A and B are shown apart, each in its own frame.
Chain A
Amino acid sequence: MQNERPDPDRLLAEVKAQEAAAQRGHLRIYFGASAGVGKTYAMLAAARALRSQGRDVVVGVVETHGRKETEALVQGIEMLPLAERAYQGRTLREFDLDAAIKRRPALILVDELAHTNVEGSRHPKRWQDIEELLASGIDVFTTLNVQHLESLNDVVGGITGISVWETVPDTFFDNADEVMLVDIPADDLLARLAAGKVYVPEQIERAARNFFRKGNLMALRELALRRTADRVEDDVQAYRSDQAIERVWKTEASLLSCIGPQPGSDDLVRSAARLATQLGIEWTAVYVETPTLQRLPALERERILRTMKLAQELGAKTAILSGEDKAALVVEYARTHNCSKVVVGRAGRTRAWPWARGLAQRVAMLAPDVDLIEIGRGEAGTTDRPSAGAARAEPDDPRRDTKRLRYLWALVACAATTIVATALLPYFDLANIVMLFLLAVVLVALKFGRGPAVLAAFISVAAFDFFCVPPRLSFAVSDAQYLLTFAVMLAVALIIGQMTAGLRYQARVASYREERARSLYEFARDLSSLLETQQVVDTAASVIAQTFRADVAVLVPDDKERMVVRNEGGAGLPVDIGAAQWAYDRALPAGVGTDTLAGSAFLYLPLRAPMRTRGVLAIRPENSRVLLVPEQQRQLDTFAALAAIALERVHYVEIAQQALIQMESERLRNSLLSALSHDLRTPLAALVGLAESLAMTTPSPSGTQLETTQAIAEEARRMNALVNNLLDMARIQSGDVKLRRQWLPVEEVVGSALKSAQSALARHRVEVELGRDLPLVELDPTLIERVLYNILENAGKYTPDGTTIRLTAELSGDDLLVAVSDNGPGLPKGQEEAIFEKFVRGARESSTPGVGLGLAISRAIVDAHRGKIWAENNPAGGARFCFTLPLGTPPAAPSEEGAGQRAL
């Protein structure tokens, strides 16, 4: 039965989400119908219970509103001091996010999820603070009233007549790990209110009296219960599919909502969000930007952008499409993105033409297979909340003056034409005079655009009638056929004027687009030829500064991933490095126009390249509205992406160059070392051989001569050992220890090391004790033999003859522990670590030969094996040298068919 098996992809996604959630903090929201239901009280009570179980609970911010019971609950829990922020001459106390992250409690209580932070805080909203707390792995308890939920905001406004503007996105609420509903009946709440147990700020007392009416409270309670029930149902669904109790069939199709420029689009977005949530599908909000809409006043465009942002907060993907035909674009988008439902707002009552069709009808005609949902518009104005961006007073559009001037010019043109026409009247036919007026209209359209052309068309007809058509200087017409002339003239003038103006507009748009494309092309071309980070940074900064008429700083990370301003012009700008660091670390934009540090003068755009973020672009345009215009934003994003890719390319160019240099120097070093090794060893070999062959000459040398030759050979060998050590050290110093790791029994290395140290240990007793059944160890046999040899030789060198040297190997946790201990004089106190330094010997000024490189080399070798090496004194006396090697998973041992059966 296919139904009983959960979809593996889905389960995988769920497992991944669970893993991510494990690192994230846990969020619990105490959710209530209105103020006064006891959310804070419930939250504190739960926190106290957890605290008594030993959880590290801290109060971030809690509003007790002076209530005794609540205050009593706070007693004894650690409270974070609030940060003080100056705002408009007053000092406001605000939750201290940085202190909370620094303190890192297991659980933090942050009251009033919907709170708006004082301007100048890192995030404008408290829920964003909490998001950051969760992201850094801290559990959070918080409280929320139903009217603060974004998607229910207008519903609550409709019920109570009071619309709140502090809202929390539904996605945040839905993503909370737990929602605890705190519920009391409306009568009880009213009783509490009467008893003064509910905090009501004095200045809104009258409004509050309207709010706290029984009808309102019951409605709010229903909303809260329903919303919680929705969430619980989601949980049940998730649980079901998780447990494969019943596979819930879910369509992959999603919902598409079209945002228009009209006020009331916010309602449309909220309705679409609710619908999508109920259907359990994803949704997308699109805005089609037609040339007409490009000419909208800035305030309206800002509203559209705000609506898009709202959609994002409500969990939508958003897209801005640009083109002429709205319906066709919407349908195409819906088709390519598998949106089976399209939500549109009902068209306004006013239509430009009686035959014009609304968007809904056109979409229906183009795509009969798509479900079309038409949403009634709320009353305009109620949803138009003030936003930080719009509240700022904007100076009058300077274009308005030039606009008036253009109409004036149109009038002047008509007047001039009339004068010329009147002058020519005696010589030309009236039909030809008409042409003169038409020419004037076309020229006006060409020069001054649509509106002046319309004006010119009417004025021209009137002037023609008044000055040229008999009876002259009167609007009366002697011959009725002139009426046709006027009608045709007006129609032709309007049509030609509109067409010309349209052409002019198209040409302007085209040239503007071309300019954008050209500047992008030039930017890309400039960047492609650069080979150094500094060049890329400077070019990007200057081009972007010029294109957007803005102050620009480009920040790139240093070795420690800290942001540093790198472009020449950017050094003097008041760039907030902290904000840039935030944007870089999270690869999210920050600053003006974003949710993070919106009060900043700069916008901080992360330069995201395919592999990773390469830096941050800080930009402060002369006109901050530039950053709100979608096409400008898109262009800025494109510039940033180009710069990021260029930085990444340059980064890899630098890496490749470094690698090349490193390879070259490595090659040089290797050939130098091997030449040195050959050149030093060959004369030593000759020295040893010649000295020894001297001993074999006939007649046999005398006793002293023999001793001399032996001494020469002996010293030459010592010299050779020294050369070996020095060359090895040189190799190791250059970081060039290449391990040839192999799996082998440790016994083998011990055996060969003992054999090579034979002469050094000739006058000592050697005991070997290897643990039984030691596993194979992966090591470089030659190098580990060197380590053991060095330690053994050391033991032989620094202990008196006849002492016992014990070599043991055993398992120690996940390591193999090899130890060499002796019962000699032991190490000088405090020298246990120093002897692993280069050129340090245990006993100073001793006549014992050796440069003290052996242990330093041993340490380097063991380090390269990711082991540890150390020396200590045995409690029972004598020194003990130990090293460990990590154990891995040895390869499968060889199997022998019939092993043991055919034993011989």
Chain B
Amino acid sequence: MEQEREWLQQALRGDTEAFGLLVQAYERPVYNLAYRMLGNAAEAEDAAQETFLRAYTKLATYQPERKFVNWLLSIASHYCIDRLRKSQRAPQVSLEDPLPPQWLTSDAPRPDQEVSKKQSRDLVRKMLDRLPDVYRAAVVLRYWYGLSYSEIAETMGTTESAIKSRLHRARRMLAQDLQSARA
């Protein structure tokens, strides 16, 4: 934390090398969020880079009482949602596309037991792609970052009750998704 504070102060004085160290420290969480939101590596790379550029130009507005990584995630999630809305991109996966079938029969083994990692990754990506943008962001921040409802609300600029509702609806959609794939 002390090191991070020092890098931040140097970056605030225009030291791009210090900012580069902050990029190295947080590239993984920012990239992961962009990847989960946008669904492909090339767009995730571009969005993650743009997130850091925006962070650099807005660094003076960062409030130190807030976790720096959460501030970065906030920029990244807003940017990704804007990007998806501007491109008005349809889900990359059609709702008619079947989900990977291997573990979707009622007597099939659980995914953590048998299904290959690649199949699990594909399944997660497809399930996420089917969710509306704001639900997807809430799910990603909850599962990959373990943020509390209040932290997700702060990151997404909304209320805790809205997050509670989004997670509830998102999980219901995910359950229905699995159900229809089985049927």
Real binding pair: no
**Interface residues in chain A, defined as those with a beta carbon under 8 Å from any beta carbon in chain B:** none
| B contacts, CB < 8 Å to A | none
